[in-house]
């Protein structure tokens, strides 16, 4: 395979930083994709012949330039842009040696093996820190490196359940619901990227790398935000409220004459304006509803009154009036409708990236926008092993003959 990656622009924030990515599926790849967006050189190590588990998580599959179905899954494409794929079998001693050499040239390593899983290969933190004391080593696991659950595998769905997140998701009448994307994995990837950046900044002062311990369970618990504090302060476990908010009223989805909308009244002044345009003078003058605390306490009385008013006109009519009045509100879009929103079009959120197999690979634009270190145009996610020869020659100086020998031995 050819290497179509050019050097990142020196203006990019992380230009010159090399990340050795031993992770797969979502949380780790999401973190390294963010670092790659910022200009880091991401070398993704994958098992020969198989690669990242998500390569097989289809359909849907990417089409090549002739419209033929490839075996590049949409799931893999979601988390692996701006990376170079190198196939190395870490179960083989020569493969372990190659990864150790790559780690010696790297600034960051990200992995999401089970606790202790890389020690048998000599690729654990202690082993690699002895070779490269400046290495920032980030481990992502389900439950962290200590505690009674440390040895368990962790998956987004089960962590959503264990953390309490599902207990506050869904309607009161339904069973607990998971979020529609693997959000704990995504949030863990974000936290991992933040921790790596902090460790790199610390290294500027100390000259030493450090170990980063990230757990999906910890991230899920921390991300409960106000719901966690509602419990810790109030002593009562929050309950499922469907689309309603536990601390703000009215702040939920409502039915209109032709569909639904989200009304997100954030303060008392907005509520007063809403009552005027909704023709609810009796509500506006009711002492129970003047302040948010009262609206929360009396939501069972207030919400039916608001719901009845909103059913009188269409979604479009309400959104126009609410926008004019400065009251936060919006539609409930499908994903197709979201990408068609004028704002999404203006911000260029849908990408079309040239792919090595021909044709274009869709993508979603990074939300990171930096004025002095703008992101380069992203590169499509790599095919399996696309950059093996280029990286081993460039970074480790391996000759074509040596690479051919390793390939015939099943190492590459």
pLDDT tens, position by position, 189-205: 999 999 999 999 999 99
> What is the C-alpha separation between 287 and 402, in angstroms, rounded?
82
User: Of the residues 156, 185, 218, 389, which is catalytic?
Assistant: 185
CATH 2.40.30.10 fits 251-333, yes or no: no
Q: Specify the pTM.
A: 0.92
185 is catalytic: yes
Which pairing describes strands 41-46 and 83-87: parallel, antiparallel, or unpaired? Answer: parallel
Does residue 6 contact residue 32 with C-beta atoms inside 8 Å?
Answer: no
- Does residue 64 carry a pLDDT above 80? yes
- Does residue 7 carry a pLDDT above 80? no
CATH of range 18-225+346-409; options 3.50.50.60, 1.10.760.10, 3.40.50.10540, 3.90.1170.50: 3.40.50.10540
Does residue 187 contact residue 159 with C-beta atoms inside 8 Å?
Answer: no
Q: Give me the mean pLDDT over the 255-277 stretch.
A: 96
- How confident is the model at residue 11, as a pLDDT? 83
- How confident is the model at residue 10, as a pLDDT? 72
> What is the C-alpha separation between 189 and 192, in angstroms, rounded?
5
Q: Give me the mean pLDDT over the 211-233 stretch.
A: 97
Q: Give me the mean pLDDT over the 97-115 stretch.
A: 98
Cα-Cα-Cα-Cα dihedral sign, residues 59, 64, 68, 71? negative
Per-residue pLDDT tens digits for 137-152: 999 999 999 999 999 9
> What is the C-alpha separation between 138 and 132, in angstroms, rounded?
14
- Does residue 172 carry a pLDDT above 50? yes
What does pLDDT average to over the chain? 95
- How confident is the model at residue 377, as a pLDDT? 87
Q: Which helix (H) or strand (E) holds 136?
A: strand 136-141
Strand order in the sheet with 136-141: 83-87, 41-46, 18-21, 108-111, 136-141, 211-215
Per-residue pLDDT tens digits for 365-379: 999 999 999 998 899
DSSP string, 266-323: -SHHHHHHHHHHTT-HHHHT-GGGSSHHHHHHTHHHHHHHHHHHHTTS-HHHHHHHHH
Give the whole-number percent of the chain exceeding pLDDT 90.
95
Burial (0-12, 13-18, 19+ Cβ within 10 Å), 215: buried
Domain boundaries, the chain: 18-225+346-409, 251-333
Per-residue pLDDT tens digits for 343-368: 999 999 999 999 999 999 999 999 99
Q: Give me the mean pLDDT over the 379-395 stretch.
A: 97
Confidence of residue 8 (pLDDT cuts 50, 70, 90): low
């Amino acid at each position: 395979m050819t290497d179509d990656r050019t050097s990142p622009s020196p203006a990019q924030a992380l230009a010159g930083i090399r990340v050795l990515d031993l992770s797969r599926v979502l949380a780790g790849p999401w973190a390294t994709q963010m670092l790659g967006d910022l200009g880091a050189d991401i070398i993704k190590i994958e098992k020969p012949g198989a690669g990242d588990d998500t390569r097989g998580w289809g359909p849907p599959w990417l089409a090549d330039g002739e419209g033929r179905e490839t075996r590049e899954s949409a799931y893999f494409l979601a988390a692996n842009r701006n990376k170079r794929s190198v196939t190395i079998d870490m179960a083989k001693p020569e493969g372990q040696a190659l990864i150790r050499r790559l780690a010696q040239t790297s600034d960051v390593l990200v992995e999401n093996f089970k606790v202790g899983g890389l020690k048998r290969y000599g690729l654990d933190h202690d082993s690699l820190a002895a070779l490269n004391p400046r290495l920032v080593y980030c481990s992502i696991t389900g439950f962290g490196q200590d505690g009674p659950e440390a040895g368990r595998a962790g998956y987004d769905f089960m962590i959503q359940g264990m953390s309490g997140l599902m207990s506050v998701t869904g309607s009161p009448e339904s069973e607990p619901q998971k979020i529609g994307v693997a959000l704990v994995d995504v949030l863990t990837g974000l936290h991992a990227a933040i921790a790596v950046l902090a460790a790199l900044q610390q290294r500027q002062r100390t000259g030493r790398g450090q170990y980063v311990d990230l757990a999906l369970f910890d991230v899920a618990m921390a991300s409960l935000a106000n719901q966690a504090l509602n419990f810790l302060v109030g002593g009562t476990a929050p309950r499922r409220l469907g689309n309603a908010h536990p601390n703000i009223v009215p702040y939920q989805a409502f039915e209109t004459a032709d569909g639904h909308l989200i009304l997100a009244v954030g303060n008392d002044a907005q509520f007063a304006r809403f009552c005027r345009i909704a023709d609810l003078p009796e509500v506006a003058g009711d002492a129970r509803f003047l302040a948010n605390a009262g609206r929360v306490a009396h939501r069972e009385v207030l919400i039916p009154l608001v719901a009845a008013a909103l059913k009188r006109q269409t979604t479009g009519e309400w959104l126009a009036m609410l926008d004019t009045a400065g009251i936060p509100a919006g539609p409930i879009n499908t994903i197709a409708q979201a990408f068609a929103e004028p704002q999404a079009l203006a911000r260029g959120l849908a990408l079309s990236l040239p792919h090595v197999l021909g044709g274009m690979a869709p993508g979603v634009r990074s939300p990171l926008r930096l004025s002095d270190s703008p992101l380069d145009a992203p590169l499509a996610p790599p095919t399996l092993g696309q950059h093996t020869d280029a990286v081993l020659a460039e970074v480790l100086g391996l000759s074509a003959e040596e690479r051919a020998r390793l390939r015939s031995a099943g190492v590459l």
